[in-house]
Amino acid sequence: MPHPIMFDDADPILTRLRERALAFPEATEKIAHGRPTFRCGKMFAMYGGSEKGATKVRRDQALLFVPDPEERDALAQDERFYVPAYVGAYGWLALDLTPDCDWAEVGELLDAAFRQIAPQRAITALDARTR
């Protein structure tokens, strides 16, 4: 039985996140477990999830991402970030998104996540854009 869809395509926060995540070279979107996931071969970000813990509080407007290992501890100490259910066991973190959140920071988190999983050709293409 497939998972129920747990997002609204008309969600303006999802629209902003999609614009940023799909701007990376070779990035694609796939619905998995009822939520949008962003991939470049492997998954580097997901929209929505739940917080790890006994109650598994749903966080439908959250960015779940693969943090840069060198920044993970610092991010985890910031009260805005939390360990998401399921993928948190693999080092992922999450951040609740709001219309007025720092979208430049979201872009930086996505960039770091993308670089953790993308093949070298995609990273080379990304770096060529910023020269």
Overall domain count for the chain: 1
Q: What are 96's strand-pairing partners?
A: 62
Q: Classify residue 79: in a domain, yes or no.
A: yes
pLDDT of residue 7: 96
Q: Classify residue 86: in a domain, yes or no.
A: yes
SS3 22: coil
pLDDT beyond 80 at 130: no
Give the range of the structural domain holding residue 19, as residue numbers without chain letter.
12-125
Q: Classify residue 131: in a domain, yes or no.
A: no
Q: Classify residue 54: in a domain, yes or no.
A: yes
Q: Classify residue 104: in a domain, yes or no.
A: yes
Measured on CA atoms in the order 125, 92, 64, 73, is the torsion positive or negative? negative
- pTM summary value: 0.95
Q: State how beta strands 35-40 and 42-50 pair.
A: antiparallel
Q: State how beta strands 35-40 and 28-32 pair.
A: antiparallel
Q: Classify residue 3: in a domain, yes or no.
A: no
